[in-house]
Structure formats: C-alpha cells, structure tokens
Chains A and B, each alone.
Chain A
C-alpha cells in the first residue's frame, strides 16, 4: 500500500486531465493532493470522489475534501456543519484503517487548518506523529514525512516554541528538499531566522 504515494505523484497529471472518477488508492490520493495544492477546487474534487464511493480511501478523502470545502463557506454555521461532517468521515475511516498514514495526516492537517475546533491540538499532534512513524521507514514517502514535520513545526511555532519549530522545519527540509513541503519548510526557516 505504501508505494501508492509514489504512484499518486505519477497519477496526478493523469487524474487532472482525465477528470474521471477514481478507482484506485493512488488516484483518490492524487485528487485530494490536487485539491490541497489548489490545482483543483475542493468542490470538483469532492464531486469526482463522490462518484466512486467504493474506491479505496474514498471515505477519508471525502472527509478531507469536506474540510477543504468548508474553508470557502462564508456563513460560519454552515461552515461548522461541513467541517463536522468532514471530521466524522475522517474519524470513521481512521478507526478502520489505523495503519494507513495518509488519513492521519489529513486529519491532523484539517485540525490545524480549522484551529482545532473539532479535533484537539493533542489529538492532531498524535495523528501526525503516528503518520510520521508509519512513514519513517518507507523511502517512498518523503513528501508525507516532510509534511508531518512541517505541520508539527507550525504547531510548535504557534505555541511560541520557536526553537522546536526551527528544528522540525530543518528536518522537514532534509526529508524532502525538492518537494513542495520541503521547500515550504525552507521558506519558514529563512523567514524565522534573523
């Protein structure tokens, strides 16, 4: 299963151009990655994954995409409901797939983006640490490891612990110097160093 992340990166252009409902784990992961990167709207991605509810990872992907969709909802009550549905879907999926790092990363990232309103700081940190563990020995997952370190660094920075943040961003950069998360970590390192 872990090699799917490599496949996901290869599948990105394919999914983007075809815009067909996904059928494999890698394709579902690729659609979510496109939505996270802003290269596809969360609504479009949600429609694509909704068309294949039986696809592997679809349950978690729909949850993650709901959270991404909620960022665009102006009215806070509706936004909250959409977020709540997203977390419910992520929680349900994670419960049955504890060994899969990607849903943990998605839930941790969703919690961070939504100010931990529905998923606490401690739970999000635990999710990301677990995902980091699951990714650690797999050389095919540098981007997710880098992403985990990046988010943990941002959480440390928000809590006022700059020293830990800088260390984690350095690790994020080292894990994947050419990937998007590694580059983002490098930018933070530069910005937060005098």
Chain B
C-alpha cells in the first residue's frame, strides 16, 4: 500500500457492520472512495458525507453512520460503514393504483414489484446497478384495461372521446457515470386497441386514434440527483430530462418530444424546507393523445378546474414550504405540514395564450412511515377557486 503524502491520508480498510442481509458489495458500491485512495482530510470528510447520503438514498437502511475510525497510524484511515437495515416492503398508492414492492431482494439491490388498480396492472423488476459494472437495468410488463379518455382543449372538454386498452413491455438500460449522475434509455413497446370513440373529424391525424396500433418508443434520459435525501430532501438539486422518439419504421407512430423536471431544495430556517419544481415539455403535433404530456393530479396541478392539463406543450411550476411537525408515539412515522402553490398549463401551439394559466394553493399534511412497513401518505386541499381535496400514497417531489 502506498504511503500517504504530507497532509494526506490513505484508505487502508473499509469495514461494514449491521448489514445482516445486504451484501457487502452493495455497501461498497455506494462508497465514494476505495481502499488505496489517497485523499486530503477535507476530501475524505466530504466523501464520507456523500457516502452516507448515497446509502440513505437507497432506502434499504433506516440508519447509516460512516465513521472515520480512530487511527493507530495518522496517515492510514479505516472507514466503518455502520448500517441498520429497514423494512424492505414498500407500499404506495394513488387513487386508482397501488404499488407494492420488495426492495433489496436477496440483499443484492434488486427490486421486484407489482402495480395494480382499476385500469392498469404492471409487474416490474429493477436493479440500480449490476454487480461488477456501472449498468442499471429494469424490465416491466403491463396491461391497461379499458379506459375512456375525454379530449381537452382550451375551452374545456370538446365532447370528443375514445376508449383504449393496451398491453406491452418496458425495458431500461442505464449507465451510472457518477453516483449522482446517470444516463440511459428506456424502451417501450405496446399494442393498443382503440374502441368506442366519438370524433368530429379525422381522429388519426389529430389524436393518433385508429382501430389498433403498435407503439414503439425509445426514451433516452439523463438524470442528476444531488439531493441529500430522496424522501425528505432538505438541500440540493434534482434534474431529469427524458426524450421520447417513435419512428414509423418500427410502429404506427412518428413523433418526438422531451420533458424536463428540475427540483431544488433549501432549508433557510431550522425544521423548514422550501421546495420548488419546474416541469416543462414539448412534443411534436403528431404525438398520439395517450402519450401527450399531462400535468393533472396530485403530482401536477392540484386544481381539477384547471383550464387544461393535457397537451403537446406543458409548463408547471410548484413551490412548497414543508415542516416536520411531530413523530408518531406508536409507529416509526413522522408527520409533516405543507403549504403549496401550483401554476401551470398544457396547450397545443395553436391554442396558446399567456392568460390561460391555472393556479392552485392550499395546505396539506403528510405521513412518512418507515416501520412496520415503508409507506408515505399525503393529503392536500386546494383553496383556489373551487376547493378540492387530494389524497394519495405517492410521495411528493
């Protein structure tokens, strides 16, 4: 082992403690250093902090400590990764869907799960990295049972609608450039059966609706996650941009588009967090209606009376102020209060007018449970215009 230069320290050993199920390799993967690295004390302190953050963000552990152990030789550091494993059953839900997953299956960072609900069933597998490489993989199969979609325009619902059912598969291949930065592409292939439609004119050209269609799309993405925590971020930035490309060479559709999602978090006062998000997207006019951008719902514009929420262009700004209120005396759970403001709209280029943005604001309450199972629930009340209540078990941004 190389001797450390003046003022520098060599990582002599990385120890692990508390990982009863999780493979040591999983812990080491999330480390920002390796045995033999030569670092300054400041670099080591920074990397220790990041390693702790990386491990907590996996959500496999309810407690993580990364210790720089007292040294017998000042130039040689021994690092201890001390963890306590948490619940590996994760549950979340929206009004129509329940998502149940088992995380860290076999202690090797594999996720297996199912989503089921009134109109969509999905089985999925995810692995954020494959041992010995920097590749992330995922696969899923899904079925969407019959669902009616009402066509929206800037003057509200147009009186046109269609129903469709679909079945398909999704795949994902990503490359982890850094712990916080990943690029890759998802692939979507589905068969769509349209039925029971009512249109004034030419549904194929306007909405991509026909009797049956094959849709194949590549969804390249780049994701930067600099947040300190996935569940309760208090500082940092998250950004993701996703494209969607479909060619008639391998399907019935010919369209392209991209969406971005940028989030920022600061904690200007103790216990308070300011969170903001901007979502924006643009897709070609030939994009089928079922693949256009939607900003509706508890993860979008929390106002059911909004002018319009589906279009080939969309812009949404959301800001929240959050505060931890108290911890449950019974379960491992804490309560969080929130006040939110949403501004946004979706449109098609021919419709756009700046005055047509919709708004929402109001209070909310959230529960984050970690034991006996991993579960998040939130309820928000829009007070703008017509009051509306949103409750979902999907985690907020």
Using a CB–CB cutoff of 8 Å, the interface residues on chain A facing chain B are 76-77, 79-80, 115, 117-118, 157-158, 160, 162, 166, 191-194
Contacts and interface: CB of A to CB of B under 8 A. Distances in A.
Given A192-B80, A194-B77, A194-B78, A117 B331 contact: yes
A193 B69 contact: yes
Contacts of B72: 193-194
Contact of B371 (A115, A160, A191): A115
B289 interface: no
Contacts of A118: 330
A120 to B, nearest CB: 8
A125 B12 CA distance: 35
Contact of B372 (A76, A162, A191): A76
Given A162-B70, A191-B15, A194-B71, 11 more contacts: A76-B372, A80-B372, A117-B332, A118-B330, A157-B82, A158-B65, A162-B65, A193-B69, A194-B13, A194-B69, A194-B78
Interface in B19-45: none
Q: Which of B17, B65, B76, B330 has the most CB of A within 10 A?
A: B65
Contact of B76 (A79, A115, A117, A194): A194
Interface residues of B, number: 24
B19 to A, nearest CB: 14
Nearest to B77: A194
Indicate the member of A79, A158, A194 with the most B CB atoms within 10 Å. A194
A191 to B, nearest CB: 7
B65 A77 contact: no
Contacts of A117: 330-332, 371
B372 A77 contact: yes
B135 to A, nearest CB: 33
Contacts of A115: 62, 332, 371
B69 A192 contact: yes
Contacts of B15: 191
A160 B68 CA distance: 11
Contact of B70 (A76, A80, A160, A193): A193
Interface in B41-84: 62-63, 65, 67, 69-72, 76-78, 80, 82, 84
Interface of B: 12-13, 15, 17, 62-63, 65, 67, 69-72, 76-78, 80, 82, 84, 330-332, 371-373
A158 B18 CA distance: 11
Interface of chain A, main secondary structure: helix
A154 to B, nearest CB: 11
A191 B65 CA distance: 14
Nearest to B82: A157
22 contacts: A79-B372, A80-B372, A115-B62, A117-B331, A117-B332, A157-B82, A158-B63, A158-B65, A158-B84, A162-B67, A162-B69, A162-B70, A191-B15, A191-B17, A191-B80, A192-B69, A194-B13, A194-B69, A194-B71, A194-B72, A194-B76, A194-B78
A194 B12 contact: yes
Nearest to B13: A194
Nearest to A79: B372
Nearest to A166: B70
A160 B331 contact: no
B85 to A, nearest CB: 11
A192 B63 CA distance: 17
Output the residue of B12, B69, B71 with the most chain A CB within 10 A. B69
A75 to B, nearest CB: 9
Contacts of B84: 158
Contacts of A191: 15, 17, 80
A158 B372 CA distance: 20
A41 B158 CA distance: 70
